Amino acid sequence: MSAKTYSIQKREGDEVSSVADFMADFVADFTPSIEAQTNKPQMIPVRHLEVPTTEDVDKVLAIATEDNWMTPLIKYIDKGELPLDKNAARRLRARVVRFTLFEGQLYRKSYSGPLLRCVTTRQGGDILSELHEGEYGNHSGGRILANRTLTTGYFWPTIRADAANFVLLCDKCQRFTQVSHLHPEKLHPTLAPWPLMHWGMDTVGKLPITSGQ
Ligand SMILES: [Zn+2]
């Protein structure tokens, strides 16, 4: 069974009942002609949609609401909220002097460079990946990678450990890292029994005698 859909624009000020009347007329007009064509009784279902199916509905965007390492710092700087635990509150007060909040974004003050944008550990993983193996990645070691991330302007507390772990797990670094060419055992020098006595080794081999010789 095939179905056909007709749409009728509901005008501003139209009552639902007037639309229903219109539909009734529409069905009355069309049914006989369709029945004449197919020679079968036809049924036209009429559905009244309150909301057009094609209209864009308000998008629902997922917002990360889970707490991360920045949450207590932001809460304290923004609203003056401290943790209930006395020791944790003291540690937070000592730590917060190195951070600042600008337009809702937390930044860490650095000694000589610009303010470092604070990111979550997950975002940090993406940054490490981009700096290590991305477009301008150079597959540097863990220490250099961490320093490069800091000079690029990002900060999260486990940056150094994360950078070291990231390099350890990089497949290319494992395959092509510099291999030590040091001999696994001690070398055995060949000593001359008396001065000017040398062992020789012919690496070319016996040369064929040519016609002129
Ligand atoms: Zn690598």
Give residue 156's pLDDT.
96
- Give the pLDDT of residue 57: 61
pLDDT of residue 67: 85
pLDDT in tens, 93-125: 999 999 999 988 999 998 877 899 999 999 999
Distance of CA 1 to the CA centre of its chain: 48
Judge if pTM exceeds 0.75. no
Give Cβ neighbours of residue 42 (< 8 Å, ≥ 6 apart). 31, 34, 35
| Alpha carbon of 146 to ligand 1 centroid (Å) | 13
Residue 158 Cα to ligand 1 middle (Å): 19
**How far does the centroid of ligand 1 lie from the alpha carbon of residue 142, in Å?**
9
Class of residue 10 by CB neighbours under 10 A (exposed 0-12, middle 13-18, buried 19+): middle
CA distance 26 to 79: 63
In the reported structure, the alpha carbon of residue 68 is separated from the centroid of ligand 1 by a whole-number distance in angstroms of 28
Cα 152 to averaged position of ligand 1 atoms, centre (Å): 18
pLDDT over threshold 90, residue 24:
no
Confidence of residue 86 (pLDDT cuts 50, 70, 90): very high
Q: How far apart are CA 96 and CA 98, in angstroms?
A: 5
Q: What is the mean pLDDT of residues 24-35?
A: 70
What's the CA-to-centroid distance between 140 and ligand 1, angstroms? 7
Ligand 1 centroid–CA 149 distance in Å is 15
Contact 50, 10 (CB under 8 A): no
**What does the pLDDT read at residue 56?**
66
126-184 pLDDT, tens per residue?
999 999 999 888 899 999 999 999 999 999 999 999 999 999 999 988 888 777 778 88
The per-residue DSSP string of 118-181 comes to E--HHHHHHHHHHHHHSTT-----HHHHHHHHHHHTEE-TTHHHHHHHHHHT-HHHHHHSPPP-
Tell me: the pLDDT tens digits for 119-133? 999 999 999 999 999
Pull the structure tokens for residue 210: 């040519």
Q: What is the CA radius of gyration of the chain?
A: 39
Tell me how far apart the alpha carbons of residues 71 and 81 are, in angstroms, rounded to a whole number.
11
Question: Which DSSP symbol is given to 29?
Answer: H
Residue with tokens 């350890």: 168
Judge whether residue 28 has pLDDT over 50: yes
The whole-number average pLDDT for the span 62-77 is 83
42: left (phi over 0), alpha (psi -120 to 50) or beta: beta
pLDDT of residue 51: 72
43 pLDDT higher than 90: no
CA–centroid distance, residue 117 to ligand 1 (Å):
24
